[in-house]
Chains A and B, each alone.
Chain A
């Protein structure tokens, strides 16, 4: 009797596992399908507009060659890379300063400061762009020179994005700091000698997200750099490439190629640091 029931359980587990495998496989196909399509379409030679099939009839690198020789894509890529590099460094320093202070140090206006941040965060970020654009424009940091302008805009308010890394710092026992303090370390030494080595995952997480931000942002970049191709980032540039119906017909496959060129390095970087990203998200995002 009990033997039979046991067998039943086993069969049931096998059935439910099979269902799960089927669901996961279908999901994987759905999730990968767009990427498969964009790669295939980027190699299509016979036409440049949208078509109703995935596999090209004629394969070739024409779109990639055109992308690098006939458009400003190399400039956009260089711009975005530069911006991302600066943002990654400056934003990481700012976010870590902010989150470390709010997590580990206790001072009079701490709670009030956090409440003010919360309230400021309720205003849509784009609102401040109207005046920032005018001021940056007056300083000549828009249009073709928008690289420094965009760096300023991205890092300017990055202190408000401290939640995830503060959540991570919160999980580290305070007794560690106290022990170091008792041993005579000052607070700067506690930060550099005790905390940072322990917080490698969140440091890498912060660098990674800061670096990826400019590649994915559209709203700010579009507003600051809309007027001049020389100052665009890849997001704005590629969107302008297919912005009108006639441009879409002419450039669609080239846009696909551009998308692939942008996505491949970012994806490789991301996947190779995935471990830290996951630790950062699971360690900080929820508890933040």
Chain B
């Protein structure tokens, strides 16, 4: 017996490649896992070093920008110099009328906006308003009327918009300076500048991406990016139903909301208990919902695609029917089917499986049963989609792989574990992650089936009640739409959902190095 084999391997130590190859698959996985967690402190250190370098690089970049702005001014002709004050002057003077007019127009709009409104909103941004609306006696009407004061919501909204506008202006101004420099260089080398017609022409050719992305990106900016920025700011205010900004102002509260989520300095509220409980169920749910669907869907696809099975189209069609019917119809109906006095209990009674009404199964009224039920019904919802995906992939597996395996004597099960499963996992790795994230935010299934219930008194918080099947997203929905409308708590939870998903994605991408390359398929 050689020395190497006699030594018992300690998985927590670093192993050489040779030693690692001798491990069984399971040991190999454990080894990777241990070393992933052992690597975290080192990883954090690396992260900070990388951050430091990033800041350093950013500072140099800023320094270079300023240096460039300065030298352009010093070396430039009067057209360039005047452009520092009147944007687009250089472009117009050099014959690039279209560009110049756009620059100039932007500057005029910016200046007018800042004078008429911008400075007003910015001035109030720090306090979010000081004089609320009040009731004052109106001698003509002989009654009390509400006199409008500040509106915190508007101040926050327009304040943020103004800040974004200023950033855009600075960026455009810098672009304007750069344009001048480039134009001077082109003219110096004796070439001709692009005309407005050339600019327009390039929008369907070399710059085609700008044309195509204009509409989608505007939409994303207005409907996603800006609202997210706004809501992140809301997490640091006390904006809720009672402080709606108009009747009662809201204001900055610093980190108070995050403190109350983690129960720092907040006596009796059990926010952190509720958050912990709901978070752990959310993760549990996402895990089961993703993997039950994945494996069962694959199993069904394999069954339907097996050689010799007839009516393949019919089987597929029956399953796909569930994807065709709008989810709220099927989910709401199934929810009522399994209600305590619903169809299923009636049928059980009818068939003699239960004897009387007192034995009705309370599907939605106990914690564990309700949780199992939503996972089972989610299988019903999810299998067809997974079946379609798996079918597509299975057809791509070269048939000769199976033939040669069969000749070598591999049985069906071995073929599955050695060929089908590795191939599937390889191709669908990233899909699994997206589907896991999708399930964390799976509002429809939970809300339409159980409404989050059964209600759990242990989860009652200052932001409203919650139930045993509530996910973070349905909790967020209830907090937002509930009587108290604790918008600030909703934002905090939204940020926490982001944090959970971001860290999960980071871990997964580190554990399974993505082997996919976009260009592989083209």
Contact = CB atoms under 8 A, between A and B. Distances in A.
B318 A281 contact: no
B208 to A, nearest CB: 4
A66 interface: no
B389 A216 contact: no
Interface in B345-402: 345-347, 349-350, 380, 385, 388-389, 391-393, 395
A7 interface: no
A28 interface: yes
A277 B160 CA distance: 42
Interface string A167-209: 0001111100000000000111001000000000000000000
Contacts of A157: 219-220, 223-224
B329 A107 contact: no
A282 interface: yes
A81 interface: no
Contacts, number: 274
Interface stretch (A56-64, A120-128, A139-147): A120-128
A24 B303 contact: yes
A124 B220 contact: no
A45 interface: no
Contact of A286 (B205, B323, B392): B392
Contact of B431 (A119, A126, A285): A285
A160 interface: yes
Interface in B284-338: 300, 303-304, 306, 308-309, 315, 317-330, 332-334, 336-337
A82 interface: no
A221 to B, nearest CB: 9
B249 to A, nearest CB: 15
Most chain B CB inside 10 Å of its own CB: which residue of A107, A122, A171: A122
Contact of A134 (B153, B223, B225): B153
A130 B497 CA distance: 16
A159 B412 CA distance: 44
A267 interface: yes
B223 A259 contact: no
A17 B521 contact: no
Contacts of B132: none
Contact of B304 (A24, A94, A97, A100): A24
Interface in B207-250: 208-209, 212-213, 215-217, 219-220, 222-225, 227-228, 230-231, 234
Contact of A35 (B321, B339, B392): B321
Contacts of A239: 328, 332, 448
Interface stretch (B167-175, B187-195, B474-482): B474-482
Contacts of B224: 120, 123, 125, 128, 156-157, 160
Contacts of A187: 204-206, 208
B51 to A, nearest CB: 16
Nearest to B302: A20
B261 interface: no
A263 B332 CA distance: 13
Contact of A170 (B349, B472, B518): B518
B332 A238 contact: yes
A228 interface: no
Contacts of B225: 120
Contacts of A120: 220, 224-225, 228
B479 to A, nearest CB: 10
Nearest to B487: A130
Most chain A CB inside 10 Å of its own CB: which residue of B223, B317, B443: B223
Interface residues on A, range: 35 or more
B349 A97 contact: no
A212 interface: yes
Contacts of A117: 220
A255 B334 CA distance: 13
A216 B389 CA distance: 21
B264 interface: no
Nearest to A215: B326
A158 interface: yes
A199 B349 CA distance: 53
Interface string A255-268: 11001001100110
A105 B321 CA distance: 37
Contacts of B234: 130-131
A105 B309 CA distance: 44
Nearest to A135: B157
Interface of A: 13, 16-17, 20-21, 23-24, 27-28, 30-32, 34-35, 37-38, 41, 50-54, 93-95, 97-98, 100-101, 105, 107, 110, 113, 117, 119-132, 134-135, 152-153, 155-160, 162-163, 170-174, 186-188, 191, 212, 215-216, 218-219, 222-223, 226, 234-235, 238-239, 242, 248, 252, 255-256, 259, 262-263, 266-267, 270-271, 274, 277-278, 281-283, 285-287
28 contacts: A24-B315, A34-B330, A37-B333, A52-B349, A52-B350, A53-B346, A54-B343, A94-B216, A105-B209, A119-B502, A120-B225, A124-B441, A124-B472, A131-B157, A186-B204, A186-B205, A187-B204, A216-B327, A219-B443, A219-B444, A239-B332, A242-B332, A242-B336, A255-B332, A262-B329, A263-B329, A281-B388, A282-B395
Given A17-B308, A287-B521, 11 more contacts: A28-B315, A31-B319, A105-B209, A120-B225, A122-B437, A128-B223, A131-B231, A188-B208, A223-B480, A262-B326, A271-B320
Interface of B: 153, 157, 204-206, 208-209, 212-213, 215-217, 219-220, 222-225, 227-228, 230-231, 234, 300, 303-304, 306, 308-309, 315, 317-330, 332-334, 336-337, 339, 341-343, 345-347, 349-350, 380, 385, 388-389, 391-393, 395, 412, 427-428, 431, 434, 437, 441, 443-444, 447-448, 472-473, 476-477, 480-481, 487, 490-491, 494, 497-498, 501-502, 505, 518, 521-522
